[in-house]
């Protein structure tokens, strides 16, 4: 009676195939995670830019003029394009301030709506 030690070639090929499937799945998961992280980083910085523009509009002693104003702000080693639109509200003495931010590729990255009291 012979005693076998080790694995057969077929057993090794099956084990290698299972391992390769698991490795491919992990590589795909890593790629999706990296892409999601980049999108979340863009949105986070876009929201920071929107808040910065909003704080300037709220803390200025003079209320912002009605209408649309555009500008650029550098943040996170990139340039972000923002648009601020100021409109009246049904309530007298209150302005609505809408701010939207786009990244350097033109993709939406942040948005914010604020209200400011206007003293006559």
Report pLDDT for 109: 93
**Per residue in 12-35, pLDDT tens?**
999 999 999 999 999 898 888 888
**Per residue in 84-111, pLDDT tens?**
999 999 998 999 999 999 998 899 999 9
b/e sequence 97-118, b meaning 16+ C-beta within 10 Å = bbbbbbbeeeeebbebebebee
Per-residue pLDDT band at 48 (split at 50, 70, 90): very high
Q: Show the beta-strand stretches assigned E in 61-107.
A: 67-75, 78-88, 94-102
CATH (residue range 9-117): 3.30.1300.30
Q: Is 81 left (phi over 0), alpha (psi -120 to 50) or beta?
A: beta
pLDDT higher than threshold 80 for residue 70:
yes
């Amino acid at each position: 009676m012979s005693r076998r030690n080790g694995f057969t070639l077929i057993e090794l090929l099956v084990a290698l195939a299972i391992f390769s499937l698991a490795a491919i799945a992990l590589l795909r998961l890593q790629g999706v995670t990296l892409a999601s992280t980049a999108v979340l980083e863009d949105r986070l910085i876009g929201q920071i830019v929107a808040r910065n523009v909003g704080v300037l509009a709220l803390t200025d002693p003079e209320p912002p003029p009605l209408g649309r104003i555009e500008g650029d702000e550098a943040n996170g080693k990139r340039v972000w394009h923002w648009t601020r639109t100021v409109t009246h509200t049904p309530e007298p003495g209150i302005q609505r301030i809408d701010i939207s931010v786009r990244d350097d590729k033109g993709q939406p990255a942040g948005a914010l709506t604020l209200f400011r009291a206007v003293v006559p």
